[in-house]
Amino acid sequence: MTIPDGPGPTAAYDGNLMAGPLSELFALDVTVAVVRCRGCGADAEVATLRVYGPEPGLVGRCPGCDDVLVRVVRTPDAVWLDLGGVTSLQVPAPKR
Amino acid sequence: MDFVTRGFQGRPRGRDDRLPPGQYLTGDFPVLSAGPTSNVDHDEFELWVATEDGTRHTWSWAELMALPAETVTVDIHCVTSWSKLDTEWRGVSLDTLLADVETAADFAMVHSYGGYTTNLPLEDLLDGQAWVAYGYDGDDLRPEHGGPARLLVPHLYFWKSAKWVRGIELMLEDSPGFWEQLGYHDYGDPWREQRYQGD
Amino acid sequence: MARAAVPGGLSARRAWREATLVERRPETDSAVTLVLDVDGWPGHLPGQHVDVRLTAPDGYTATRSYSVSAPERGDRVELTVQRVPDGEVSTFLADGLAVGDAVRVRGPVGGWFVWRTGQPGPVLLVAGGSGVVPLMAILRARGPGAAPFRLVYSVRGPDDVIYRDELAVLAATDGVDVRLVHTRRAPDVDKRPVGRLRESDLAAPGWTGEDAPTCYVCGPTGFVEGAADLLVALGHAADRIRTERFGPSGP
């Protein structure tokens, strides 16, 4: 790799990195879920969010407008989740 | 005790009496961020202090530069366990900025360009404990470390030292900031290892 | 659509399991493949990753995410770890963990950046540095007679090629094309001027947007964003491009 990619405007990770921490909370794999941004209305799969972290916590931002959509913090004895930046979370589920 | 990984020690922690419990020493200056690096021009920079009755005090970049500055050498402690000793900063003491501000507030919410927030007791910003810093190690403070200006409150975990500071909201009641809403401690004293709520 | 169906019951995927190192294979000066034996492993899909947790005697723990580098094979889980300078976990895994020692793993996790056996259509894999790891799991999972696969793999120099010998063998296989892109140092036989990934590295007959391959791009953030932009410029539909970014800088 030759791309000088020091600290800059882009996120170092994407929502794929949220798979492990979110697996502690959700019955289904949430990285394939589609979230709708409360700020700009765009839909994005959780795996495609721009993710900052992993410490002190994971911050998933909208690929369209950079608003904070999802935050996850793992403390020694709890998982804290904030979905305040999304209006909906749509998870593919087995057919009923 | 959890299952122990044979041979794994992690970084050597807490072997210096200047290191708070659970911290390790680093010579680097790690960059942690919750969002894009803000690039704020001096022209558009404005620092504000707002009191509980809505009074606003503002300083342009030039006005901030015109205030008496101090150079301080302090140890900083990040909640992610690194500590860095003898870091040298230049900036304006909050005692100077808040000298003419009339308030009955006991708490402050610090606001950053980019939307980050963090809450502190107002008394922790006073009496020579906090600065708006714009210089680091003899140079301008670089954007990835919070430049043009960041809060510096070295006696608390470093997430309280908000990068890209733009305003200080004085409040009668405490209210959690960006990380404090998600399980991090409201006060964050590294010597009492107040990393998470309940610590 | 079975997109959310991932091997293993949910509680099985959430549990931290003991994983014992049974083999270590150096790949380059800085990358090593670790073969772990994980009792009761629920299986995984190519492209998925696992979380690895190390615990020190004083209770301190460190957790990192690593892509699995080989398809499902019973209780065996292969990871390829790139040593990161001053990386607390990667240096321990690469240098400190001995055969017979155990770590804890959780997973598999991640259901988006995956390839499923039987998924139709050609597959274009674009790797930057150690981003080749999950793509190797996908490439290794390709069965004989399957649709064509192409790997475009960007490395600094010839010594940085992970899985070099196996890639040479795969490149000679029908339906598999491997192209190495050297960014700093190239072998003499390589006529391509060194430099970062460009459009001509990705453009090839049979691999246009109209051929509609599913594209998987993995590497450091800057690489992934650059490669994804090139693919879009070449006419690949954005919804056929899957990306995984793993870190701010290249190995």
ipTM over 0.85: yes
Instruction: Enumerate helices (H) and strands (E) in chain A, giving the number of each.
Output: 1, 8
C-contacting residues of A 14-43, CB under 8 Å? 14-17, 19-20, 23-24, 27-29, 31-32
Within a domain: B5: no
Its pTM stands at 0.91
- Half-sphere exposure in the Cβ direction for B184 (13 Å, CA): 29
pLDDT in tens, C102-140: 999 999 999 999 999 888 999 999 999 999 999 999 999
Per-residue pLDDT tens, chain B, 199 aa: give them.
468 999 998 887 767 889 999 999 999 999 988 998 888 999 999 999 999 999 999 999 999 999 999 999 999 999 999 999 999 999 999 999 999 999 999 999 999 999 999 999 999 999 999 999 999 999 999 999 999 999 999 999 999 999 999 999 999 999 999 999 999 999 999 999 999 999 9
Chain A: touching chains (3 or more CB pairs < 8 Å): B, C
Within a domain: B35: no
- Half-sphere exposure in the Cβ direction for B194 (13 Å, CA): 16
Q: Which of B39, B143, B196 sits opposite A75 (nearest CB)?
A: B196
Within a domain: B25: no
* CA-based nearest distance A20→chain C, Å: 6
| Total count of domains within chain B | 1
Beta strands in A1-96 (DSSP E): 13-14, 34-37, 43-45, 50-52, 58-61, 68-75, 78-82, 86-90
Inter-chain touch C112–A10, beta carbons under 8 Å: no
Within a domain: B159: yes
pLDDT in tens, B127-166: 999 999 999 999 999 999 999 999 999 999 999 999 999 9
Which CATH number applies to C123-245? 3.40.50.80
Assess whether the region C10-109 and the region C123-245 belong to the same CATH fold: no
CA angle, corner B190, sides to B171 and B76, nearest 5? 90
pLDDT of res. B2: 62
pLDDT band at C247 (very low <50, low <70, confident <90, very high): confident
Within a domain: B63: yes
Mean pLDDT of C83-90: 88
Inter-chain touch B32–A55, beta carbons under 8 Å: yes
B70 three-class SS: strand
Tokens 């690489």 identify what position?
C223
pLDDT of res. C186: 96
Q: What are the extents of the domains in chain C?
A: 10-109, 123-245
Closest CA to C24 of C36, C14, C33: C33
C→B contacts (Cβ < 8 Å), by residue, are 18, 54-62, 86, 88, 92, 96-98, 101-104
Within a domain: B14: no
CATH number at residue B67: 3.90.420.10
User: Which residues of chain A does C195 touch, with a Cβ-Cβ cutoff of 8 Å?
Assistant: 2
Cα separation, C74 vs C152, in Å, equals: 29
Within a domain: B178: yes
* CA-based nearest distance A8→chain B, Å: 6
Chain B: touching chains (3 or more CB pairs < 8 Å): A, C
| pLDDT more than 70, % of chain C | 93
Cα separation, B159 vs B151, in Å, equals: 10
Strands C49-55, C61-67: pairing is antiparallel
User: Which residues of chain B does C54 touch, with a Cβ-Cβ cutoff of 8 Å?
Assistant: 5, 8, 10
Greater confidence (A8 vs A78) lies with A78
Cα separation, C135 vs C154, in Å, equals: 13
Residue of A nearest to C112 (CA): A32
Asked whether B119 and B177 are in contact (CB, 8 A), the reply is: yes
* CA-based nearest distance B43→chain A, Å: 20
Mean pLDDT of chain C: 92
In CATH, what class is C10-109?
mainly beta
C69 three-class SS: coil
pLDDT in tens, A18-65: 999 999 888 889 999 999 999 999 999 999 999 999 999 999 999 999
- Count the neighbouring beta carbons within 10 Å of the beta carbon of residue B199: 14
Range of the structural domain that residue B97 is part of = 51-192
Spell out the long-range contacts of B139-148 with Cβ–Cβ below 8 A and sequence spacing 24 or more.
Answer: B141/B89, B143/A7, B143/B37, B143/B38, B143/B39, B143/B40, B144/A6, B144/A7, B144/A8, B144/B31, B144/B33, B144/B37, B145/B29, B145/B31, B148/B40, B148/B42, B148/B45, B148/B61
